[in-house]
Amino acid sequence: MPATDNLVEVDNVNFAYDRRQILKGVNLDIRRGRVVAIMGLSGCGKTTLLRLIGGALRPTRGEVRVDGQSVAELSH
Ligand SMILES: Nc1ncnc2c1ncn2[C@@H]1O[C@H](COP(=O)(O)OP(=O)(O)O)[C@@H](O)[C@H]1O
Ligand SMILES: [Mg+2]
């Protein structure tokens, strides 16, 4: 049985490159099996959000979970 109905959970995430805040209080649930588009102006943080979901970046606050597991706590 799956750990959660959501494959991806972005929970109150902040992210900054150095001191430049890019994401603030982002919440996003992506249900298993759904196709979701992330839309926004150039530079608004779409690629940064994908990098947080993929584990290439870590949130400065909040948590990203994939399949119920905290991405920041996973090994490479
Ligand atoms: N490695 C980085 N270091 C510093 N700032 C970055 C870096 N990557 C992206 N940025 C800045 O973060 C903001 C969001 O970028 P990005 O997530 O690539 O936006 P999008 O994919 O929505 O166009 C932009 O202002 C961009 O200039
Ligand atoms: Mg981009």
Calpha distance 13→60 (Å, rounded) = 7
Q: What is the pLDDT of residues 25-74, one digit of tens each?
A: 999 999 999 999 999 999 999 999 999 999 999 999 999 999 999 999 99
Q: With contact defined as beta carbons under 8 Å apart, do 64 and 20 qualify?
A: no
Mutate-to-test residue for ligand 1 from 23, 44, 53, highest number of ligand atoms within 8 A of CB: 44
Mutate-to-test residue for ligand 1 from 14, 17, 46, 58, highest number of ligand atoms within 8 A of CB: 17
* Domains and their CATH numbers in the chain: 6-32+44-71 (3.40.50.300)
* Claim: this prediction has a pTM higher than 0.85: yes
Q: Is 73 helix (H, G, I), strand (E, B) or coil?
A: helix
Q: Is 67 helix (H, G, I), strand (E, B) or coil?
A: coil
Q: Is 48 helix (H, G, I), strand (E, B) or coil?
A: helix
